[in-house]
Amino acid sequence: MKSVVYPGSFDPPTNGHLDIIKRASQLTDKLIVAVLNNQAKMPMFSLEEKMEMLKELTKSIENVEVYSFDGLLVDFCEKVNSNVVIRGLRALTDFEYEFQIALTNRTLNKNIETLFMATTTENLWLSSSVVKEIAMLNGEYSGMVPLFVKNKIEEKISKKRGV
């Protein structure tokens, strides 16, 4: 495969995302990490912050590029000349959501294929929302995100609390 798009909100990037990035980058010449610019979701991090974190986390993987996108994913894929989207699959609960996205994308553009990569068992229940919730409630989440991301989350929370 010449290039593969890995889209997501990445608010923030977790060890689960990073695992998919590392494994997917070995299957393609180029892996394009595509960060959705969606303020409607009330993200913890701005688009720029998310891109900066992803660039830092992937700087040692030569064939990974980090982009942002607005609008439809299929239009972004066309723009970057890719017809393959990869998504991580965790527990069964992901299925319906992921199938909806995959089938919608294929309806919008029949050339777009979606591949699913099974998560590792330790990341089965991991999500950005879970990380944010634990962090806000002062829980321990060191094994869920890279240290670099953990520090950024702590900074955000301290600022929010006015510490």
User: Looking at the annotation, which residues are catalytic?
Assistant: 17, 41, 90, 128
Least CB distance to ligand PNS at residue 102 (A): 9
Decide if residue 49 touches ligand PNS (CB under 6 A).
Answer: no
Would you count residue 83 as binding ligand PNS (CB under 6 A)? no
| Three state DSSP letters for the chain | CCEEEEEECCCCCCHHHHHHHHHHHCCCCEEEEEEECCHHHCCCCCHHHHHHHHHHHCCCCCCEEEEEECCCHHHHHHHCCCCEEEEEECCCCHHHHHHHHHHHHHHHCCCCEEEEEECCHHHCCCCHHHHHHHHHCCCCCCCCCCHHHHHHHHHHHHHHHCC
Contact flag: residue 54 with ligand PNS (CB under 6 A) = no
Identify which range of 1-9, 110-118, 133-141, 144-152 contacts ligand PNS by CB under 6 A.
Answer: 1-9
Q: Does 24 bind ligand PNS (CB under 6 A)?
A: no
Site string for ligand PNS, 84-113 (x = CB under 6 A): -----------------x--xx--------
Structure tokens at 74: 């299929």
Size of the site for ligand PNS (CB under 6 A): 9
Residue nearer to ligand PNS on the CB measure, 52 or 78:
78
* Binding stretches for ligand PNS (CB under 6 A): 7-9, 36, 72-73, 101, 104-105
